[in-house]
Amino acid sequence: MKLNILPENPEEEKEGRFPSWLHRKLPPGGQVFKTRGILEKYRLSTVCEEAKCPNRFECYTKKTATFLALGKACTRNCGFCDIDFTKTPKAPEADEPIRIALSVKELGLKHVVITMVARDDLPDQGASSIAAIIRTVRQENPGVTIEVLTSDFSGNLAALDLVLAERPEVFNHNIETVRPLSPRIRHKADYDRTLMILRHAKQSGKVIFVKSGIMVGFGETPEMVQETLRDLHAAGCDIITMGQYLQASTTKLRVKEFVPPEQFKAYETYGLALGVRWMYCGPFVRSSYNANLFAPAL
Q: Which residues would be at the binding site for ligand SF4 (CB under 6 A)?
A: 47-48, 53, 55-56, 59, 64-66, 286, 288-289
3-state secondary structure of 213: strand
- Smaller CB distance to ligand SF4: residue 56 or 200? 56
DSSP codes, 103-168: HHHHHT-SEEEEEE---TTSTTTTHHHHHHHHHHHHHHSTT-EEEEE---GGG-HHHHHHHHTT--
| Min dist. Cβ of residue 96 to ligand SF4 (A) | 18
- Smaller CB distance to ligand SF4: residue 141 or 195? 141
- Smaller CB distance to ligand SF4: residue 147 or 231? 147
- Smaller CB distance to ligand SF4: residue 65 or 148? 65
Find the DSSP H helices in the chain.
Answer: 10-15, 30-41, 47-50, 56-61, 96-107, 127-140, 157-164, 182-185, 191-204, 222-235, 261-274
- Smaller CB distance to ligand SF4: residue 122 or 242? 242
Find the DSSP H helices in 42-126.
Answer: 47-50, 56-61, 96-107
| Min dist. Cβ of residue 173 to ligand SF4 (A) | 15
| Min dist. Cβ of residue 39 to ligand SF4 (A) | 11
| Min dist. Cβ of residue 145 to ligand SF4 (A) | 15
| Min dist. Cβ of residue 207 to ligand SF4 (A) | 19
